[in-house]
Structure 1
Amino acid sequence: MSTDIDIVDATLRHGDRTVVDRLSLSIPAGQILVVTGPSGCGKSTLLRAIAGLRPIDEGTISVGGHRVTGTSGDRAMVFQDDALHPWRTVRRNIALALGLRGVPRGERRAETDRWISEIGLDEFADHLPRELSGGMRQRVQLARGLAGAPRAVLMDEPFGALDAQTRTSMQQLLIRTLHAHPATVVFVTHDVDEAVLLGDRIVVLDHAGAGVRRIVDVPRPRVDSVENRAARDEAAAALVGGDQIREKVPA
């Protein structure tokens, strides 16, 4: 089950420096919103605030109608670094999320094995993270995040460190997994092609404290089409500063 996310006049600061300034944005349940923009514009800071990993300085962030005041099992965070427990096998890393969700011990093995099959790592179930490739570790992290049945998934450049072939494979795995296990997603990336492939909407942030440069709707999400290529060009122009329009984000 997915949920809506509402951001109202959110301001986030690092010390005296404003990183995100009075941002308002509504993300409907089940939508994949991609956030991009130049380095230092506040993408990851915003993601951590939605996750409840850092306080908001002004305004509000609500998930499913409940104001975010800390972390919650309803929100899963997926990082660029896999963040797996190095002493736990693939199976035990995923089973941990099921335990936190309250799945009875007697049911965890079968459900864990289903997740391992979904991510294509049946032969590596008893391997430790150090024995896996980067792409494999990211598969485990994705499964662990979604196995907790979150209603919102927050992804901070999760495929940024992968080679091109592995990255493409992980993008397709994410699409398939979210089709089977729907959630509202906020996905941060620097890659415009990735943004258009995955997103229903793309928010292009300006430099720190300057707000939103443009919001681009993807006409046919997760489908290769001429209309999507036009959306890609629009997002790319905004990202490099070719579009100087500053738009107020609709509520």
Structure 2
Amino acid sequence: MTVGVGLELDRVRLSYTGTPVIDELSLTVRPGEILVLTGPSGCGKSTVLRALAGLLPPDSGRILADDAEVTGTSGDRGMVFQDNALLPWRTVRSNIELALRLRGEPRATRRAQADHWIGELGLTGFGSYLPKSLSGGMRQRVQLARGLAGAPRAVMMDEPFGALDTQTRAAMQRLLIDTWRTHPTTIVFVTHDVDEALTLGDRIVVLGKAGRPVRAVLEVPDPRIDLPREELRTEIIAALDHSVAA
């Protein structure tokens, strides 16, 4: 069974295309939790994800995974993007198999593992389809399958459901939670949507501008249970308002 990895950013400074985005960010992600990052556009949420995945080295500070410094990408850390990042000329099965190959899985086992994830994510019967033949929700299922294939111990998810309609988005949120419960891993999830943050997160971190990167860290009581959370929602919205105004 996958065991989630603990992640830490220690006084991290990050730039994107030469422009400073994050400065002196310190944050701990607990093993096996779903940590949600939210904040105004341009505050660096996606940049933080890329750094945690090992795709972007910090200008200063350290990024740690189970106390080992992150110096590049690793099969222990996967990434699921908002945009359709599937290779259009590859079938559903082939897209998932490619991720397994890149993570070093032998050819003899790749097809069986891909078919396992096709079944897990409700894609049975679509393994030979090209992405263009799938709905937006089904393409996101394939991206999720690809992100989880190879049993990464942490998955960074960059607004993966942001382009979906409300009903499909809710279905994908339930699917993510069910899959996470069956295959425990650490998830860092970026969203602009306050209700999505409350639905998914064990903790919610509201990011602000680089001078004060963390505006609030909020624990979600009874996470993923459908309870009224008006007080917590109000706290998040207030933190977001301060982030924009600061």
Does the alignment reach a TM-score above 0.5? yes
- Aligned residue for 2:236, secondary structure, equals helix
1:212 and 2:214 matched: yes
1:125 and 2:157 matched: no
Q: 1:159 is matched by which residue type in structure 2?
A: F
1:99 and 2:107 matched: no
Assess, with a 3 A threshold, how the Cα gap between structure 1 residues 11 and 114 changes in structure 2: closer, same or farther. same
Per-residue Cα deviation, 1:100-152 (whole angstroms, up to 9, x for no partner):
34444333333222211111111211100111111111100100110121111
Question: Separation in 2 of the partners of 1:16 and 1:113?
Answer: 42
What TM-score does the superposition give when structure 2 sets the normalisation length?
A: 0.93
Assess, with a 3 A threshold, how the Cα gap between structure 1 residues 99 and 206 changes in structure 2: closer, same or farther. same
Superposition pairs for residues 1-251 of structure 1, below 5 Å? 1-14=3-16, 17-226=19-228, 228-241=229-242
Question: Separation in 2 of the partners of 1:75 and 1:58?
Answer: 21
Range 189-198 or range 111-120, more displaced? 111-120
How far 1:17 moved relative to its partner? 4.0
Per-residue Cα deviation, 1:169-195 (whole angstroms, up to 9, x for no partner):
111111011111111111110000000
- Aligned residue for 2:125, secondary structure, equals helix
Per-residue Cα deviation, 1:72-106 (whole angstroms, up to 9, x for no partner):
11110100012111111111111222333444433
List runs of 5+ in structure 1 lacking aligned partners: 247-251
Computed over aligned residues only, the root mean square deviation of the Cα atoms, in angstroms, reads 1.9
Question: Separation in 1 of the partners of 2:197 and 2:167?
Answer: 17
How far 1:66 moved relative to its partner? 1.5
- Aligned residue for 1:143, secondary structure, equals helix
What TM-score does the superposition give when structure 1 sets the normalisation length?
A: 0.91
Q: Is residue 37–residue 207 contact of structure 1 (8 Å, CA) maintained in 2?
A: no
- Aligned residue for 1:240, secondary structure, equals helix
How far 1:16 moved relative to its partner? 6.2
Q: Is residue 135–residue 162 contact of structure 1 (8 Å, CA) maintained in 2?
A: yes
- Aligned residue for 1:123, secondary structure, equals coil
Question: Separation in 1 of the partners of 2:103 and 2:17?
Answer: 35
Name segments (4+ residues, structure 1) moved above 4 Å.
Answer: none
Q: Is residue 2–residue 184 contact of structure 1 (8 Å, CA) maintained in 2?
A: yes
The percent identity for this pair of structures is 61
Question: Separation in 2 of the partners of 1:160 and 1:108?
Answer: 30
List runs of 5+ in structure 2 lacking aligned partners: none
